[in-house]
Structure 1
Amino acid sequence: MTAVPLSVLDLVPVVSGSSSATALHRTLDLARAAERAGYARYWLAEHHLNPGVAGSAPTVVIGAVAAVTSSIRVGSAATLVGNVRGLQIAETFGTLTGLYGPRFDLGLGRSGAPAPGTPKPPSLAPRADQVVDGLLLPAPFDFRVAPGSTFALQGELLGRVPGDVERFDDDLALVRALFAGTWTRGGKVVEAPPATGADVELWIHGSTGGESARVAGSLGLPYGANYHSSPGTVLASVEAYRASFRPGVLDAPRVVVSADVVVGRSAAEAEELALGYGQWVHSIRSGVGAIPYPTPDAARATPLPDEAVAAVRDRLVSRFVGDAAHVADRLEVLRRVTGADELLVTTITHDHAARVRSYELLAAEWARRALAPAA
């Protein structure tokens, strides 16, 4: 087995019967556990208007995580250009670095959700299930952004405009120049303390192998590809990045690939803990916003109808659920097929202690394999 680092992607899920405040405090608890377990990074996602997700202000949470940890790298996956301006992004991460030292990762992504009524592309996704060297690439579910959905309302309240997607390159260049202290206006360098000189690791995140992969590759930046949210496009995404790569910040491509996992002390326990995921993902894709994550009993009592199952099938069949050995086996397949230099795992269960234990069990198994002598 090739030893590659494992990292954490936390969506700050809110579970049924709990609150956003509790979810935020549980994130701090999980971050401490992840650092003890040896995870390399702790990344926060950005979601808005979702009752089942408290990660709407990731940079605030990143600072809180940094305050309760000491060595694990902390960052965003991703800070969405279009939701916030480049100057604010650079100043925020410069401030974090000034407060807690050079261990921050700024992951940038595009906020360009399609306009209401238009299809969201998975442009390079297969139209039917494929299996590549043991890795399932499921056919994607194409959905439309309905007027009045949370997707449409997010765009309205965040002030997005059609040009936000095209502005990505400009904002990226601005952020890089502000960190480097080289941004000029009227022939004069304009500094933006505390961004100037901040040692922040910059990543680009993408799903479909489009412009984000091209930009990351052309600038020689590291790239994050999403198997967990767009499993059918992950190979197209990493292949587009590598094809575009030119030495820049990095001399060679570097890819982190995400995956949804649930690890239990047994396969049966893991399957029980994993219940509720279909209902949770469907609530997001249907446009109503993420529901608080249900208990296994509630999930059994309210099974999804067939058409709803079809709408989330790609996410269900690409989630790795089982004991630590089984999940590690599946992650090794994902690593081998994608050539990932690092794996980013995200786990959601209703029971917080079980969620922490899932990460701990996986880290212990991964470390054991890394130390095992080669066959």
Structure 2
Amino acid sequence: MSVPLSILDLAPISAGSTAQQAIRNTIDLAQHAEDWGYHRYWLAEHHFVSVASSSSITLIGLVAAATSRIRVGSGAVQVGHHTSASIVEAFGTIDALYPGRLDIGLGRSGHRRAQFGTRPEYPKKSHPVVDTVTGRTEIRDGVVVPPPFDPGRITDRSKFIASISALQQEGAQPLEFADQVGEVRALLDGTYRSADGVALHAVPGEGAQIELWLFGSSASESAELAGQLGLPFAAAYHVAPGTALDAVDAYRAAFRPSAELAEPYVVISADVVVAKDDATARRRACTYGHWVHSIRSGAGAADYLDPADATPLTPEQQRLVEDRLATQFVGAPTTVVERLAALQRVTGADELLITSIVHDHEDRLESHRLLAEAWGLRAARAA
């Protein structure tokens, strides 16, 4: 039986369009996704770039209001930019009207120690299985595992540093990630105490019917913490294909049963473009490299280009994004389903998280619809 499919949305802004239209497109896609049988609809958080999901929790509330069954959540809240109380109270407010449908995904992005330039962390004696001499890509049973991307290749960090300053009060020091996760859990279950021992209760928020998730892209703190706490874990293959599979392994190795889970539960993400045939899908996906390059150059995600107007990437630009191009799932439904099935098989994922970015909204709708049909989501709902 096929595992569930879910959607991760950044509310991308296409060249020639607006943030307002991108938000309308998000609501439209979420409503279609519910009808097509997708399990969850998660929103990413990004700031000062050409995506309209900067206030992701606000957008989660709008999506929840526009749908009736599909689970809605964050993929993920950048906890370095939020207090634990603000996260729980915001989600608790949405849960008060749409109980039992929300997922809080927490990620380390936004923490000072997760800034550009740090190298991936791995458990002792655990490293990506790549050729460290030549940096060659490995193929694991049909799944592409490129060498890990080195954030040190991003030379212009000025916008990132300015963004951190704008998103945090002067002098603010984010908590350690594990401590903030602990605060969120305590606020949800009603056991929170201040540093002085004073009991505080999140209203609304305490007792909310919300699933808590951790997100990660390498075999580092997030993966191990999710396992140790017995929480479900989402691995970002679409962002870090060179290390995401190691994150899954680290999570399972660290897993301890909890009140939330008796066994590990893994979601793994993939960037997907589906069309009626391989050639059409490749044409619609051909500016994905330009978009990734805008991120990795340090400028941040740019407007998503129309394939009809874009010039080819230079060889130097191509080298900066080649791992992401090699691990994008592009093609006709059968082509993409075969590759996604391999990703699920190799990782043992319990669920796949699909993100799809193309210039035209109708093409993005078609991509998700064709995938849902080919994966059998309609049949699963009917059953």
Q: How far apart are the structure 2 equivalents of 1:137 and 1:41?
A: 26
Map of 1:259-274 to 2, 5 A cutoff?
259-274=270-285
1:149 deviation in Å? 2.9
Match of 1:327 in 2: 336
Q: Which among 140, 143, 146 is matched to residue 151 of structure 2?
A: 143
Give the fraction of aligned pairs with identical amino acids, expressed as a percent.
48
Q: Which among 257, 262, 265 is matched to residue 251 of structure 1?
A: 262
Match of 1:70 in 2: 68
TM-score by length of structure 2 reads 0.91
Match of 1:90 in 2: 88
Q: Which among 230, 242, 248 is matched to residue 232 of structure 1?
A: 242
Deviation track 1:43-98 (CA, whole Å, cap 9, x = no partner) reads 00011111x21111100100010111000000000001111111111111111100
Q: Secondary structure at the match of 1:87?
A: helix
Match of 1:315 in 2: 324
Q: Supply the AA of the counterpart residue of 2:146.
A: P
Q: Does 1:13 align with 2:27?
A: no
Q: Which among 108, 111, 119 is matched to residue 110 of structure 1?
A: 108
Deviation track 1:171-216 (CA, whole Å, cap 9, x = no partner) reads 1111111111111345553211101111110000000110001110
Q: Does 1:354 align with 2:363?
A: yes
Q: Supply the AA of the counterpart residue of 2:25.
A: R
**Unaligned residue ranges in structure 2 (runs of 5+):** none
Q: How far apart are the structure 2 equivalents of 1:179 and 1:244?
A: 24
In structure 2, relative to structure 1, the CA distance for the partners of 1:278 and 1:195 (3 Å cut) is: same
Q: Does 1:152 align with 2:150?
A: no
1:350 deviation in Å? 0.5
Q: Supply the AA of the counterpart residue of 2:96.
A: G
Q: Supply the AA of the counterpart residue of 1:206.
A: G
In structure 2, relative to structure 1, the CA distance for the partners of 1:21 and 1:369 (3 Å cut) is: closer
In structure 2, relative to structure 1, the CA distance for the partners of 1:204 and 1:117 (3 Å cut) is: closer
In structure 2, relative to structure 1, the CA distance for the partners of 1:34 and 1:117 (3 Å cut) is: closer
In structure 2, relative to structure 1, the CA distance for the partners of 1:331 and 1:236 (3 Å cut) is: same
Q: Supply the AA of the counterpart residue of 1:110.
A: R
Match of 1:304 in 2: 313
**Unaligned residue ranges in structure 1 (runs of 5+):** none
Q: Which moved more, 1:323-332 or 1:133-142?
A: 133-142
In structure 2, relative to structure 1, the CA distance for the partners of 1:57 and 1:369 (3 Å cut) is: closer
Given that 2:116 and 2:157 are in contact with CA atoms closer than 8 Å, whether structure 1 keeps it comes out as no
Q: Which among 49, 59, 62 is matched to residue 61 of structure 1?
A: 59
1:236 deviation in Å? 0.6
Task: State the number of aligned residues.
Answer: 366
Q: Does 1:197 align with 2:207?
A: yes
Q: Supply the AA of the counterpart residue of 1:293.
A: Y
Q: Supply the AA of the counterpart residue of 2:33.
A: A
Match of 1:183 in 2: 192
Q: Supply the AA of the counterpart residue of 1:140.
A: P
In structure 2, relative to structure 1, the CA distance for the partners of 1:270 and 1:177 (3 Å cut) is: same
Q: Secondary structure at the match of 1:215?
A: helix
Q: Does 1:168 align with 2:177?
A: yes
Match of 1:281 in 2: 292
Q: Does 1:210 align with 2:220?
A: yes
Q: Secondary structure at the match of 2:331?
A: strand
In structure 2, relative to structure 1, the CA distance for the partners of 1:91 and 1:324 (3 Å cut) is: same
TM-score by length of structure 1 reads 0.93
Q: How far apart are the structure 1 equivalents of 2:114 and 2:369?
A: 41
1:368 deviation in Å? 6.9
